[in-house]
Amino acid sequence: MNSSVLTISERNNIESGPWFSKLSLPLRSDILARAFVRRLSDGALMSVRGEPAEEWVGVARGAVRVSSVSLSGKQVTLTYVEPGTWFGDIALFDGLPRTHDASAHGETTLLVIRKPDFKDLLQRHTELYEALLRLNCRRLRLMFDVVEDLNTRPLASRLAKQILLLARSYGVTQGTEEIRIGLQLAQEDLAQLLGASRQRVNQELKGFEREGAVRVEPTRLVVLNKDKLLAIANR
């Protein structure tokens, strides 16, 4: 990989990622040496459910929208893959087709490792097996957390928790307390992430505004008071 094709912030997103940054220097260097850069415009399709897995991918900028199609034919967002995160390894391990659709959300930059290079990395660096095992254990724990929240927490609590997570991943501090979430999300997008209706999410957001916790802007959210939002999340 010629690192000059990445901007400084893109390169920093990859190198400072919580998983990637803990790898040994030889492994990090080998991954980057084999990677190539792919830039996608907003909405560009990256992979489709059912197709063979051929790539392992790291997000350097923007976000990857992982989605599925409901029985009624509606596209439903399941999660957004944030900068610094690597994904796509599971299907390369088990050899099964991709389980979901993936597309760019906003202007997105990816680092891509082709399947043969991924397999070779595993052969040359046994460390990568353990690192990916830890990564997938974390994914599994997060999945159980989501299921638990869905069954035990009210929508307001789950929504506040989701906004805090988005602020941590995409937040840009403004002034002393305000945090603007850089990821463009409509209320329908938030509703899909939470398994709720847009109307109910809209009602809860209006309540958050009345409490002085957030400000709702078209396709943007601004956290006005993190402590108030934490209090809602813990109710």
- Mean pLDDT rounded to a whole number for the chain: 93
Q: Tell me the CA distances in angstroms from 80 to 28, 83, 126, 150, one per residue in order.
A: 24, 10, 29, 18
pLDDT 10s digits, 86-96: 999 999 999 99
Partners of 173 in beta bridges: 179
Q: Name the residue type at position 96.
A: L
DSSP code of residue 184: -
Asked if 215 contacts 209 with a C-beta cutoff of 8 angstroms, the reply is yes
The larger pLDDT score, comparing residue 71 to residue 1, is at: 71
Q: Structure pTM?
A: 0.88
Q: Does residue 143 carry a pLDDT above 70?
A: yes
Nearest residue to 193 via CA among 222, 221, 226: 221
* pLDDT band, residue 2 (cuts 50/70/90): very low
Q: Does residue 176 carry a pLDDT above 60?
A: yes
Q: Does residue 80 carry a pLDDT above 60?
A: yes
The listed range with the strongest mean pLDDT (5-14, 18-27, 171-180) is 18-27
Q: Does residue 14 carry a pLDDT above 60?
A: yes
